[in-house]
Structure 1
């Protein structure tokens, strides 16, 4: 495989691509060509299409990175031939035929992560609980901006099954925030372990893509190096 110089970053629900700014800056400084997907969060198909559209523009192999709901998106979109490896950042990791919602079954609830749903089926994180549930280690002013600029997600996406699990064919890495209040820690560990991901654990909230940007960038950097040499036989399947 050719050297991997491309990275594609996929955000999750209730956020947009701007949260990747620091990860972007670190990787660009290291010589990577970094692209950021802006998910519309209107349907699973729309988010996958937005990601594939960016992958089509890559000039060679890429590491595809997803945060939270973005993990489901990269699981499907990662089948793209330009994808050499997957990095899951406190992310959902369903298998083919599974929905995102099924990943929560059997795990503890997350009372600090409070979602309000509008009449048309879109979910927002409740503003007065946003910092506690999403960004506990972000300063108050920055957390308020994230809360007020959040992008609602069509809640039906969590009941849509993925059709292909790219992690079965591509090497995978996972970064888990040990203070994440959006997911039960056991759930994050289960998903990452099930796919045979190389796991990095770091103190941080669900907003680790902002607060632990250096660690996230380091994992992406390692993935870009290691994916070149990872044989297909070493991939979970």
Structure 2
């Protein structure tokens, strides 16, 4: 009887030690420091200036903000640009993406510094998923009809598509300004597939643009729901980061833990 008690006691101690070790490992997986670094990733037909209204709102809260300038020539080149930015961060970092940038952060987001992912009216394909095929499950967004290709294989939105379908809720003069700085895209991007979907393993947030004419809002809702993302909806065109910068900044702040 004493032997059984001794064995049971030993088993209980071993179980407790195992549970304590497991708890310690789980705790180690959670960043011990708050998220103070934010890396912003722009989408197609844009550049880093598209974050110009959001950046000061984040900096005012003491966050270290970096806006990546993607070459938008290929997915690999854009992922490399984000990884270079991540290498310069000094601790846990939040990756935030608009539009096509969602593909980029889904691929680059497996970096150990990345503590969370925020998608602003953004693509979020699964690893190996054919994103153009996914879009065909929903009514086509009008902006796609305005994509024009040059003889050397680079694409831009027509002025009408940009002003009406891409940035439709900005004042016309402002939309025209961003049209002037839109960055051409490489054709390779239209065929690119991610090999990683970091949203499977990282906390995610998503802002749906309910008036979006560049990505179907129902497709945005589908992707957000599939990721189990904390989701908000903004009555906005595709460029909510420009037309609703306060709401977008607040979502980012929530993801960093700065705002509850």
Give me the CA root mean square deviation.
Answer: 1.2
> For structure 2, which runs of at least 5 residues remain unmatched after alignment?
1-30
TM-score normalized by the length of structure 1: 0.92
Distance 1:111 1:22 in 2: 26
Q: Map 1:71-220 to 2 at 5 A.
A: 71-113=102-144, 114-220=146-252
Matched, 1:7 2:38: yes
Choose between structure 1 and 2: higher helix proportion.
Answer: 2
CA offset at residue 111 of structure 1? 2.3
Greater mean deviation of Cα atoms: 58-67 or 121-130: 121-130
TM-score normalized by the length of structure 2: 0.84
Q: Deviation string for 1:30-83 (max 9, x for gaps)?
A: 110000000000111000000000000000001100100000000001111110
For 1:231, the equivalent position in structure 2 comes to none
For 1:23, the equivalent position in structure 2 comes to 54
Matched, 1:54 2:85: yes
2:116 aligned counterpart, secondary structure: strand
Distance 2:219 2:153 in 1: 25
1:81 aligned counterpart, secondary structure: coil
1:36 aligned counterpart, secondary structure: strand
CA offset at residue 174 of structure 1? 0.2
CA offset at residue 112 of structure 1? 4.0
After TM superposition, where is structure 1 displaced by more than 3 Å over at least 4 residues in a row? none
**Structure number with larger C-alpha Rg:** 2
Matched, 1:68 2:99: yes
Alignment check: 8 A CA contact 1:92 1:103 kept: no
Distance 2:64 2:225 in 1: 29
Distance 2:132 2:184 in 1: 17
Number of matched pairs? 226
CA offset at residue 99 of structure 1? 3.4
Greater mean deviation of Cα atoms: 154-163 or 37-46: 154-163
Distance 1:160 1:93 in 2: 13
Distance 2:156 2:235 in 1: 25
For 1:230, the equivalent position in structure 2 comes to none
Greater mean deviation of Cα atoms: 208-217 or 93-102: 93-102
Distance 2:138 2:220 in 1: 10
CA offset at residue 92 of structure 1? 0.3
Alignment check: 8 A CA contact 1:99 1:158 kept: no
